[in-house]
Amino acid sequence: GAVVSQHPSRVICKSGTSVKIECRSLDFQATTMFWYRQFPKQSLMLMATSNEGSKATYEQGVEKDKFLINHASLTLSTLTVTSAHPEDSSFYICSAGTGGHEQFFGPGTRLTVL
Amino acid sequence: DAKTTQPTSMDCAEGRAANLPCNHSTISGNEYVYWYRQIHSQGPQYIIHGLKNNETNEMASLIITEDRKSSTLILPHATLRDTAVYYCIVRVLISGANNLFFGTGTRLTVIP
The per-residue pLDDT string of chain A (114 residues; one tens digit each, 9 = 90 and over) reads 789 999 999 999 999 999 999 999 999 998 889 999 999 989 999 999 988 888 899 999 999 999 999 998 999 999 999 999 999 999 999 999 877 888 999 999 999 999
Q: How far apart are the first and last CA of chain A?
A: 37
Closest CA to B90 of B58, B64, B54: B64
Please tell me the distance from the alpha carbon of residue A72 to that of residue A20, in angstroms, as a whole number.
14
* pLDDT reported for residue A51: 84
A2, A85, A106 from A29: Cα distances, Å: 10, 33, 14
Cβ neighbours of residue B77 under 8 Å, at least 6 residues apart?
B15, B16, B17
pLDDT band at residue B89 under the 50/70/90 scheme: very high
pLDDT digits (tens, 9 = 90+) for B27-69: 998 899 999 999 998 999 999 999 999 999 999 999 999 999 9
Residues of A with CB below 8 A from B95's CB?
99
* Closest residue to A32, CB basis, from B44, B93, B97: B97
* β-bridge pairing A90-97 and A76-81: unpaired
B101 in reach of chain A (CB within 8 A):
yes
Which of the residues A28, A51, A95, A112 would you substitute to probe the B interface, choosing the one with the greatest number of B C-beta atoms within 10 Å? A95
